Amino acid sequence: MSNQEIDELRAKIDNVNLQLLKLINERGQLVQEIGEIKKSLGLEMYDPIRERDMLNLIANYNEGPFEIATMQHIFKEIFKAGIELIEDDHRKALLVSRKKKPENTVVQIDGEAIGREKKTIIAGPCAVESFEQVEAVAIALKSQGLSIMRGGAFKPRTSPYDFQGLGFEGLKILRAVADKHDMKVVTEIVNPAHVEEALNYIDVIQIGARNMQNFELLKEVGSQKKPVLLKRGLSATIQEFIYAAEYIMSQGNGNIILCERGIRTYEKATRNTLDITAVPILKKETHLPVLVDVTHSTGRKDLLLPAAKAALAIEADGIMVEVHPDPAVALSDAMQQLNIPEFEHFMNSLKSSRLLAAD
Ligand code: PEP
Ligand code: MN
């Protein structure tokens, strides 16, 4: 076969390609017309019975050389493109997605903004143990210019025999200390039935890693207005994390702060593996602020500062870190909480690294 013959055949193929192009677009226009009618009648765009009929027609009329399965595969792609053309692009985009809302969400916590240029540091004990313990931490936070304190009152512990938290008594302690020192409180709620009562005491509801897919809890916190700090599940993919946030937002509450807290991997050097690139991915895919919990992700005091620096450098909106006046006797996470001088050193190092504004 000469080169000239190849060129002639190629010209014919180009011609067929152009005809296909025209026909596929013509088909798209017809689909759009049907789409408009279906929309006005309130009908579903995708009709599996109609699709089956079209595939049968193709099978009946296929004369080869392509096999029926091959042709059906190609046509299914064309059908899919048609449906995508008419489905409301807006409806498909998640509420938490940047596609839906290009500008950043700034979560307001009673005058404190999370998600603006100024980074947020949320610190406090793993668990609330007493008024004195929480107050000692509050004073240390205040002297560093911080105003959002964390502390667990309902502790989801691995062993049922470990300290489970002070419950509502703990929430009352948090509120009393916060009011005395003009601070805000972030605390975990684990039971949907506790949400309403807890709202009397707290400023931000934390959903812990173990409850990221507790859908009833997500729906409950979504149906009220307080900001929600949602932690990534122990083994959750970023997509699952985003869907968990969508559960909250779909109920009407868009005040969501995401928190990367490490995921479980085979690595044992750290308690979890901090997925640092989850931060820019979440910020790209969603419009929500993203924090990094350096305590639970690393589980190691010596890694808190480098992990916090990495988080700020990769443009997280802030950090969560655990602080206890006497970690050696803490009722939970004794190994990884900073004592107050260590916390001061942590804060001063971040400020002098210029990753955190010194104010
Ligand atoms: C916590 O922040 O108190 C906590 C239990 O963290 P996580 O849910 O991320 O394990
Ligand atoms: Mn802890």
- Report CA(296)–ligand 1 centroid distance (Å): 7
Same domain, 81 and 115: no
Same domain, 203 and 54: no
Per-residue burial over 176-201, b = 16 or more CB atoms within 10 Å of its CB, e = otherwise: ebbeeeebbbbbbbbebebbeebbeb
pLDDT tens string 169-228 = 999 999 999 999 999 999 999 999 999 999 999 999 999 999 999 999 999 999 999 999
Last residue of a domain, one of 93, 126, 155: 93
Q: Which residues are CB-neighbours of 265 under 8 A, at least 6 positions away?
A: 272, 273
How large is the ipTM? 0.99
Query: Which pairing describes strands 107-109 and 112-114: parallel, antiparallel, or unpaired?
Result: antiparallel
CA 106/CA 104 separation, integer angstroms: 6
Q: What is the CATH number of the domain that holds 275?
A: 3.20.20.70
Give me the number of domains the chain comprises.
2
Give me the phi and psi of 135, to 5 degrees please: -65, -40
pLDDT tens string 303-343 = 999 999 999 999 999 999 999 999 999 999 998 999 999 99
In angstroms, what CA-CA distances link 135 with 145, 190, 279, 300, 329? 15, 24, 32, 24, 16
Question: Residue 94 has which token pair?
Answer: 């998640």
| 91 band by pLDDT with thresholds 50, 70 and 90 | low
Protein residue whose Cα sits closest to atom 9 of ligand 1: 209
The most distant pair of C-alpha atoms in the chain lies apart, rounded to whole Å, by 93
> How far is Cα of residue 329 from the mean position of the Cα atoms in its chain?
33
Same domain, 287 and 324: yes
**Which of ligand 1's atoms lies nearest the C-alpha of 232?**
9
Same domain, 173 and 296: yes
- Report CA(143)–ligand 2 centroid distance (Å): 23
**Is 257 inside any structural domain?**
yes
Same domain, 338 and 271: yes
Same domain, 145 and 51: no
Last residue of a domain, one of 71, 93, 115: 93
Same domain, 73 and 193: no
Last residue of a domain, one of 93, 126, 146: 93
Whole-structure pTM value:
0.83
Amino acid at 297: S
> How far is Cα of residue 131 from the mean position of the Cα atoms in its chain?
33
CA 245/CA 286 separation, integer angstroms: 10
pLDDT at 355: 93
Same domain, 75 and 135: no
Same domain, 71 and 122: no
- Report CA(208)–ligand 1 centroid distance (Å): 5
CA 153/CA 176 separation, integer angstroms: 14
**Is 133 inside any structural domain?**
yes
Residue span of the structural domain in which 48 resides: 3-93
